[in-house]
């Protein structure tokens, strides 16, 4: 463990001490750290052929998708190892809306076991929840995925750098344009010291990218030179 590590990232996450004994998807017995049997693990939709800039799944390999060619996103690179499809989407909704921490633990193990980006950031920041939603849900699903990943990669997790200053509507019910409007001005960034030059902002699911884009803009305005976006899974369409 490097001596520069932020001691806060060593605080236990909600997944500690979870060791599922059955596959979370099919119920087959006797599965260890991942929480999935080999067959179900093999069904996970990997996002291997995708746009380097926004991780949009592509039919055939190409450096960038049409949308990124037309208009550059406010971040430099995306790391999104899975597509938001069955059966991963089932685990995600159990974790996010059903309080199923074992499903979150499995998602976390899947993410950790994915090939990591060559260019690691100096710090990771999770997309924050507004405190009213945090109170209802009890945990921030993005932060809980970020904790073990940051520990695994040896990259500090900055917990207070981004704040959600305004409660927003649930993005799921909104169109792409409404999502952009909904998150505009909803975040603020603050660093105790000089901002790290390269930060990854992390969310659980990348849907339209509106939330991640707004976070990237806010971090850059606060002085971060390069912002990458990380998410567990990428929805197929913008
Ligand atoms: Zn299974
Ligand atoms: Zn793209």
CB 146 within 8 A of CB 168: no
pLDDT, residue 223, reads 97
Parallel, antiparallel, or unpaired for β 123-126 and 187-189? unpaired
Selection from 75, 118, 105 nearest residue 232 by Cα: 105
Ion ligand 1: residues, CB < 5 A: 23, 25-26, 28, 37, 40
Find out whether the peptide bond into 122 is cis, omega within 30 degrees of 0: no
pLDDT, residue 4, reads 41
| Nearest ligand atom owner, CA of 72 | 2
Cα of 121 from ligand 2 centre, angstroms = 20
C-alpha span between 225 and 219 (Å, rounded):
9
156, two tokens: 């500090």
| Nearest ligand atom owner, CA of 36 | 1
Cα of 26 from ligand 2 centre, angstroms = 34
pLDDT, residue 3, reads 37
- Helix or strand holding residue 233 (H, E): strand 226-234
**pLDDT tens over the chain, length 238 residues:** 333 444 343 345 777 666 667 899 999 887 777 889 989 999 999 999 999 999 999 999 988 999 999 999 999 999 999 999 999 999 999 999 998 999 999 999 999 999 999 999 999 999 998 888 888 888 999 999 999 999 999 999 999 999 998 877 777 778 878 888 888 888 999 998 899 999 999 999 998 899 999 999 999 999 999 999 999 999 976 5
Cα of 91 from ligand 1 centre, angstroms = 12
One DSSP character per residue, 21-86 reads: SB-TTT--B---TT-S-HHHHHTS-B--SB-TTT--B-SS--SS-HHHHHS--SSS-EE--EES-T
Give the 3-state secondary structure of 192-229: CCCCCCEEEEEEEEECCCHHHHHHHHHHHHCCCCEEEE
Cα of 55 from ligand 2 centre, angstroms = 6
Q: Beta-carbon neighbour count of residue 193 at 10 Å?
A: 5
pLDDT, residue 133, reads 85
| Nearest ligand atom owner, CA of 43 | 1
Cα of 113 from ligand 1 centre, angstroms = 18
CA atoms within 13 A on the CB side of 25: 22
Cα of 37 from ligand 1 centre, angstroms = 4
C-alpha span between 169 and 133 (Å, rounded):
10
Cα of 98 from ligand 1 centre, angstroms = 20
Ion ligand 2: residues, CB < 5 A: 51, 53-54, 56, 65, 68
Cα angle vertex 224, ends 220, 226, to 5°?
Answer: 90
238, two tokens: 């913008």
């Amino acid at each position: 463990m490097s001596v520069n590590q932020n001691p806060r990232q060593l605080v236990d996450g909600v997944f500690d001490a979870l060791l599922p004994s059955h596959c979370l998807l099919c119920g087959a017995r006797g599965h260890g750290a991942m929480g999935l049997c080999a067959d179900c693990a093999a069904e996970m939709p990997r996002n291997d052929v995708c746009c380097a800039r926004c991780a949009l799944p592509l039919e055939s390999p190409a450096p960038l998708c049409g949308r990124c060619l037309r208009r550059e996103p406010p971040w430099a690179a995306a790391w999104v190892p899975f597509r938001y499809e069955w059966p991963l989407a089932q685990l995600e909704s159990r974790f996010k809306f059903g309080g199923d921490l074992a499903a979150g633990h499995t998602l976390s193990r899947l993410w950790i076991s994915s090939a990591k980006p060559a260019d690691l950031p100096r710090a990771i920041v999770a997309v924050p929840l507004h405190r009213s939603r945090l109170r209802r849900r009890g945990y921030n699903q993005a932060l809980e995925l970020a904790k073990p990943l940051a520990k695994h990669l040896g990259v500090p997790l900055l917990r207070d750098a981004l704040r959600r200053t305004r409660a927003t509507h649930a993005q799921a019910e909104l169109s792409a344009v409404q999502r952009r409007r909904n998150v505009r001005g909803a975040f603020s960034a603050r660093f105790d010291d000089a901002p790290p030059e390269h930060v990854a902002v992390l969310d659980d699911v990348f849907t339209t990218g509106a939330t991640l884009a707004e976070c990237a803009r806010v971090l850059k305005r606060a002085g971060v030179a390069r912002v990458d976006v990380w998410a567990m899974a990428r929805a197929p369409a913008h």
